[in-house]
Amino acid sequence: MTDLTAERPWPDDGSPWPSATTRPVVLLGWPARHSRSPQLHNAAFAAEGLDLVYLALPVPPAALDDVVASLGQVEAVGANVTVPHKQTVVASCDRLTPEAELIGAVNTLVWDGDGLLGDNTDATGLRDALAADLTPPPAAGERYVLLGTGGAARAAAVAVGRLAGEVVVVGRRFDAAAELADLAERAGASGASTCHLDDQRAVAGAVAVSRTVINATPLGMHGELLPLPVGQLGPGQVAYDLVYDPPVTPFLRDAAAAGALAVGGLGMLVHQAAASFERWTGRLAPLARMQAVAAGDR
């Protein structure tokens, strides 16, 4: 573990920051400038008095390997990895945590004495966010509908599995949906099945008997509608969107209008960030401070 016990470098005690001793933690994505992660992590570093700075680095796919290697050379402490690099960066890691191996993707990198470790905090973040955001908290055997078969959906499948839920994976590719259903069961799901997106009767039936519908696609970031019978959701049900910007997507808007609880992805962002912080620093994350910053409290 990196030694992060430096004196507080932040301006609140008059010390210059950043300084020649400040070490970087970065976000690798394409694009990356839209992310809220720098605000969350820099606030957390300040709260803990750590001589670290978090930066967003837009990295085109062709440059990923070179950038990761360069970060190791300049004593970066760690990194987050976002789309489209979460699966590609696996090849750059010297070793993976069991969680990253299970999900098949990496969102957290740590440079230490044994090289580059790849981890994934997305499933942990979503599990913790669901437990915090839903009242009552998720119980074993609850039913979920999961829309999507990409990297975010893989983490969501593991999160639902860890909650011992029963999930229907909805997608356009049967093989990808079946793989995620199997992944959910390996993570502990009480049951997992698939449904083709074009089979609207079957999709509607799955939505009708589920407590929580999770959108694990990028649809909604630019005002897109989900190809789901969202209007069928009602009181006692939950629309959970992993998209956090905008805070209210058409999916959440329509679900709320139908009487369902509508929850955006900001909670997952904060909880996965807290887990990454703990991986880099060996300290408990200042979760309350990170939540306040995410909510717009500077």
Active site residues: 86
89 DSSP 8-state letter? G
Rounded distance between C-alpha atoms, residue 111 and residue 104, angstroms: 20
**Residue 187: other Cβ atoms inside 10 A:** 22
In 3D, which of 279, 275, 286, 285 has the Cα closest to residue 112? Answer: 279
The token duo for 150 is 């990409």
Q: Could you tell me if 90 and 107 are in contact, meaning their C-beta atoms sit under 8 angstroms apart? A: no
Taking each helix axis as running N to C, give the angle between helix 151-162 and helix 122-133, from 0 to 180 degrees, rounded to the nearest 10. 60
Edge-to-edge strand ranges of the sheet holding 115-119: 52-58, 23-29, 78-81, 108-112, 115-119, 95-96
Q: Could you tell me if 241 and 223 are in contact, meaning their C-beta atoms sit under 8 angstroms apart? A: no
Rounded distance between C-alpha atoms, residue 47 and residue 286, angstroms: 7
The token duo for 288 is 């309350």
End-to-end C-alpha distance for the chain, whole angstroms: 30
Mark 105-133 as b/e (b = at least 16 C-beta within 10 Å).
bbbbbbbeeeebbbbbbbbbbbbbbbebb
Q: Could you tell me if 47 and 31 are in contact, meaning their C-beta atoms sit under 8 angstroms apart? A: no
Rounded distance between C-alpha atoms, residue 9 and residue 16, angstroms: 6
